Amino acid sequence: MMVRRNQFIGLALLNLLILFSLISCQEKRSPNYLEFYKINIVSPNPKATFDSIQKLHGLPVYWDYEEGNGYASGGLALSNGFLDIKTYYDNSVVEASPMELVLDSNLPDSITFQKLKTAGLQPNEPFKMEGWFWSVVSIADLKIMEDRSNGVYVTHYDDYDFHKRTADSIQDLTDKRIDTIRIYSESSDKFEANWKKITLNENAPVVTFIKDSINRIELIIK
């Protein structure tokens, strides 16, 4: 009888430990369905830009520079996001702006699409290209670079849990973070109002909107 009781207590403690681990993991990821994920930096010479930024800030490499399906890119990690330095081979497929903000969703793209619409935004229909292991929803009324971009992107990975574990392990290698994203635009008031309809994780960069005749984005890394 005592043996069974001890086994029961041991099993209960094990279940509590598993539950605690799951809660801790969820807290790290954030309870929000959207997290700040990365910034695409589109460059005519992405390899040189990748090497220059990596050397300047000493950032860990998330993925080595390589050519992919319709683009070439390399990823550098910060503690609260990534820099994806890339170039697109065919801009008729994906419109590219000098910088693009990318958010990450832990929900399927169809649900993310509906939640963004419910929040009062105008998302485009989800799409996924051949060879991709993620889907994308772009937000039409957050074209922060005006006509030079499809807008802010929301991605969802086929194996979201594996993607997050990998991302977290790389981000743990550095204390440097994207502190602030400054967006300059003639439509800054409109973009700021739309951006406030999105709720991100606590560790996301601060995004500020500044009225200016020249559309551009500045990153503050600390």
Q: The dihedral of CA 22, 24, 26, 31: what is its sign?
A: positive
Lowest mean pLDDT among 35-49, 65-79, 101-115, 136-150: 136-150
* Strands 206-211 and 178-185, sheet pairing: parallel
Residue 73 falls within a domain, yes or no? yes
CATH of the domain at 101: 3.10.180.10
Range 139-165 average pLDDT: 88
Residue 124 falls within a domain, yes or no? yes
Checking if the pLDDT of 60 tops 60, the result is yes
Residue 213 falls within a domain, yes or no? no
Q: Which two tokens stand for residue 207?
A: 């995004």
Residue 20 falls within a domain, yes or no? no
- Residue span of the structural domain in which 140 resides: 31-174
Residue with tokens 């910088």: 99
Residue 207 falls within a domain, yes or no? no
Q: What confidence score (pLDDT) does residue 91 get?
A: 61
Residue 116 falls within a domain, yes or no? yes
* 180-191 tens-digit pLDDT: 999 999 999 999
Residue 169 falls within a domain, yes or no? yes
* 125-144 tens-digit pLDDT: 999 988 889 999 999 899 88
Q: What confidence score (pLDDT) does residue 131 get?
A: 83
Residue 40 falls within a domain, yes or no? yes
Q: What confidence score (pLDDT) does residue 13 get?
A: 43
State the total domains in the chain.
1
Reduced to 3 states, what is the DSSP secondary structure of residue 13? helix
Q: What is the mean pLDDT of the chain?
A: 85
Q: Is the pTM of this model over 0.85?
A: no
CB 172 within 8 A of CB 199: no
